[in-house]
C-alpha cells in the first residue's frame, strides 16, 4: 500500500498490507532457505529530516502510518537476518516515476500532472508549490534493485534517488513546457503528513552499486508524458496491445 494519505485515513490497512505482508515474505524466505531479500522501503521512514541532503544514517522518525509501516518492515528484515541468516537490504526509494504509473489519487504527482496536462485540465498543487522532491526514473530503480539482489549487503539501507531536488511548482511548469500546454495551476491546502523538502544523499548506494540516477529528469519526463499521450495500450516501441473487452458487470459500470 503505497499512499501516504491513504495510510493516514486507514492505518490498520497500511499495517496489514505492508508489515504483515513483509512478514509473510520473510516467513516464505525462511521456509525456502532463501539467501537474500531486498526490500522496497521508502524515504518516508525519515519523517521530517533535520539535515539535507538526507543521509542513509539519518534518524528514522516517520510521521505517517505509511512511513511507520516501512520502518517496521526494515526492522523485521534485520531481525530475520540475525535469527535466520537471511541477508537483508532495504532500498529507500524516493519519488519513483515513469510510464505505466497509475494517475490516481494515490499515485505520484508526475503521472497525475501528465494525464491532466495532456487533457488541458488544471494542475492541482497542494500548498504553495515550494515543497521539493527528489525524483528517480523507474528503470534506474530497477537497475538498483537488480544490483542489490546480486550483492551481499547485509543489514544495509540505501537511498535510491537522483540526489537532486525540484519544487512541485517548477515541476508543473517544466511539464507544461514539454507538452507545450499551459494548464491552469490550482492551489489547495497542504496535505496531512506532507514534508517541505526532500533530497537524498546517495553516496552509499553509488559506492556499492555504481551510478544510480542515469536518466536526467527532462528525459524521464518526456518519455513518461509520451506514454500517457500515446495511451496505455501502446508499448514504448509503438506496437499496439490487443485487449479483450471487459465483461459488462455492475463493477465496471
- Residue 152 confidence (pLDDT): 86
In-domain check, residue 252: no
The answer to whether the predicted template modeling score (pTM) of the entire model surpasses 0.85 is yes
Which one of the listed residues 46, 66, 97, 137 is annotated catalytic?
A: 66
- Residue 193 confidence (pLDDT): 73
In-domain check, residue 216: yes
In-domain check, residue 65: yes
- Residue 58 confidence (pLDDT): 97
- 67: domain range? 4-230
Strand partners, 186: 124
- Residue 203 confidence (pLDDT): 96
In-domain check, residue 90: yes
- Residue 105 confidence (pLDDT): 67
In-domain check, residue 199: yes
Mean pLDDT by 10 residues, the chain (253 residues): 91 98 98 97 95 96 96 97 95 96 81 95 96 98 95 90 98 97 95 89 94 96 96 55 36 26
User: Taking a C-beta distance cutoff of 8 angstroms, is the pair 64, 15 a contact?
Assistant: no
In-domain check, residue 151: yes
In-domain check, residue 237: no
| Cα-based distances in Å from 92 to 82, 96, 211, 213, 236 | 21, 11, 16, 14, 27
In-domain check, residue 243: no
Question: What CATH number corresponds to the domain at position 51?
Answer: 3.40.50.720
- Residue 194 confidence (pLDDT): 83
Q: How many domains does the chain have?
A: 1
Q: What is the CA radius of gyration of the chain?
A: 19
- Residue 107 confidence (pLDDT): 67
Dist. CA 231–CA 233, nearest whole Å: 5
Reply yes or no on whether 46 is catalytic: no
- Residue 111 confidence (pLDDT): 95
- Residue 192 confidence (pLDDT): 76
Residue 94 contacts by C-beta under 8 Å, 6 or more apart in sequence? Answer: 43, 133, 134, 135, 136, 159, 160, 161, 162, 198, 200
CA-closest candidate to residue 12, choices 1, 23, 22? 1
Amino acid at each position: 500500500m503505497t499512499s501516504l494519505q491513504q495510510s493516514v485515513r486507514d492505518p490498520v490497512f497500511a499495517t496489514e498490507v505492508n508489515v504483515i505482508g513483509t512478514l509473510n515474505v520473510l516467513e516464505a524466505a525462511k521456509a525456502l532457505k532463501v539467501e537474500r531479500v531486498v526490500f522496497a522501503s521508502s524515504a518516508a521512514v525519515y519523517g521530517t529530516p533535520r539535515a539535507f541532503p538526507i543521509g542513509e544514517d539519518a534518524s528514522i522518525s516517520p510521521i505517517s502510518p505509511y512511513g511507520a509501516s516501512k520502518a517496521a518492515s526494515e526492522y523485521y528484515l534485520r531481525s530475520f537476518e540475525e535469527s535466520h541468516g537471511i541477508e537483508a537490504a532495504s532500498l529507500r526509494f524516493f519519488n519513483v516515476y515513469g510510464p505505466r504509473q497509475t494517475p490516481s489519487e494515490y499515485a505520484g504527482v508526475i503521472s497525475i500532472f501528465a494525464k491532466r496536462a495532456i487533457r488541458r485540465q488544471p494542475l492541482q498543487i497542494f500548498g504553495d508549490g515550494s515543497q521539493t522532491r527528489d525524483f528517480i526514473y523507474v528503470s534506474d530503480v530497477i537497475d538498483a534493485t537488480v544490483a542489490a539482489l546480486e550483492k551481499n549487503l547485509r543489514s544495509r539501507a540505501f537511498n535510491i534517488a537522483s540526489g537532486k531536488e525540484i519544487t512541485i511548482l517548477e515541476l508543473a511548469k517544466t511539464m507544461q513546457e514539454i507538452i507545450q500546454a499551459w494548464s491552469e495551476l490550482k492551489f489547495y491546502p497542504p496535505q496531512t503528513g506532507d514534508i517541505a523538502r526532500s533530497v537524498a544523499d546517495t553516496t552509499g548506494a553509488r559506492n556499492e552499486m555504481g551510478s544510480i540516477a542515469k536518466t536526467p529528469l527532462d528525459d524521464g519526463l518526456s518519455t513518461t508524458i509520451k506514454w500517457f499521450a500515446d495511451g496505455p495500450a501502446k508499448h514504448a516501441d509503438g506496437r499496439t496491445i490487443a485487449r479483450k473487452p471487459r465483461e459488462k458487470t455492475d463493477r465496471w459500470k
